[in-house]
Structure 1
């Protein structure tokens, strides 16, 4: 774990990379530094590469170098749990920097709840908050596209806007995984899986076919081509206008230009330039800073 600034002051937030790739953690620092939160201290945690974690049933969990599936996200949560939980008392906010329905968010939320329950009698205790970059990007996208319009000002009727949001992500395995995660987040779970509801605000998921590690190992021209093409497929395969696109991987930070190019190709320059591109890391940091300051 390392710190971006020296000496603790104001709000403190821990950025958690639940995989063992330190270069991914390093790539987050300039993105967060550019936000210029001078009154917030950011520390960084990377999953230990050479420390296996024993589970009660006798299994041993090693660190995950690259989280390439839903199963990997579960393994990385189990691996990080004993290292991260002791840090909860030290910070005000926690951002899990993996674009998935990552169980570490729930693990941290439960631990925060336990700590806050013990501190209810203290009026000076500061509330703590946690989110993942997946949750933060979805929430931000909904804020960006959602509004009510007048349908008929003579009859005083209104209607929700028709814009949708979508996700451009890495490997093909994430298409079904993230689609289910969005539905589970936004629609009340059905008792019968076959009756699972749908959200009409979600345009879907398109993938580049590259893993998070390959995003940084593949020639930039090839990465850009795949990002542009994935964006084009996303926009072409939905009947409603897409008003926001989430970068579906922490490793995609800084790749907004390629997504923008895909938007312009499909929608033309005027509307293509207006599509909001949401970096989950930036969204998550902003959300945590706001909630920490507000004390919700």
Structure 2
């Protein structure tokens, strides 16, 4: 007797490179609300306790990459997945490190929520409209601008007319999950969003921190005040985790379709 494979499951790992389980649980809430193919499985991973609890600067980025890469190497975890989403809104080294090892883990599709958010916005923007980022601390302003130039392949002194900029709240990732009073979070996120929207014609706002998942309505509230209720309803508020999962579904299918077996 023989059997034939007629349907293949896509297994995606959402990788939180910091050690905060609370942040991972926050990501899971948003993922549960997604409309996905019944053949897609989404699993989550929280970095070991040696990784920073909140990734707030370049040192934290590098430390988290080192801890997670060592853990993945020792456990062989990635052999069980078709795709990995690095859930840190940064130019995170793990994205390149894991993508370079494609083939070792099978046809592994890899992206980060930073990269996925860029592609999501560019696919949604109407002509003449702009997109921008609201994120956490001051460090990320220059870090993300440099990352965008690298991703686009442009020089830092060449303006991109589609990009409205990066505005920061002054908070860190952990603050969005019980680190500070929720009213403080609300006020600071509103202030950063207001500064971004005042640049005009912003159609897409990216939540530049995985910890911001679930705070879309705060951004829409500000948009209603700045642009009016009708235009605010048209505003696209991008969660990089959900955007990344959707992108990875397509990347997995494309690798299977266009890469030699």
Match of 1:43 in 2: 43
In the TM superposition, what whole-angstrom CA distance separates every residue of 1:87-117 from its partner, at most 9, and x where no partner exists? 23221000000011111000000011x427x
The answer on 1:267 being equivalent to 2:223 is no
The alignment partner of 1:261 has SS state of: helix
- Mapped partners of 1:84, 1:171: distance in 2: 29
Matches within 5 A, 1:128-207: 128-146=108-126, 161-188=127-154, 190=155, 196-207=157-168
- Mapped partners of 2:233, 2:56: distance in 1: 31
The answer on 1:71 being equivalent to 2:59 is yes
Q: Which has the higher contact order (CA 8 A, sep 6+)?
A: 2
- Mapped partners of 1:184, 1:10: distance in 2: 34
The answer on 1:87 being equivalent to 2:40 is no
User: After the TM superposition, which segments of 4 or more aligned residues of structure 1 sit over 3 Å from their partners?
Assistant: none
Cα distance, 1:23 vs. partner? 1.0
Cα distance, 1:36 vs. partner? 4.0
Whose radius of gyration is greater, 1 or 2?
A: 1
The question of whether the paired residues in 2 share the 8 Å contact of 1:183 and 1:198 is answered with no
Match of 1:115 in 2: 104
Question: Root-mean-square deviation (CA), in Å?
Answer: 1.7
Cα distance, 1:286 vs. partner? 0.7
Unaligned runs of at least 5 residues, structure 2: 1-7
Return the match for 1:242 from 196, 202, 207.
202
Unaligned runs of at least 5 residues, structure 1: 1-8, 50-61, 117-125, 147-160
Q: How many residues align?
A: 245
The question of whether the paired residues in 1 share the 8 Å contact of 2:23 and 2:177 is answered with no
The question of whether the paired residues in 2 share the 8 Å contact of 1:232 and 1:265 is answered with no
The alignment partner of 1:115 has SS state of: coil
The question of whether the paired residues in 2 share the 8 Å contact of 1:183 and 1:199 is answered with no
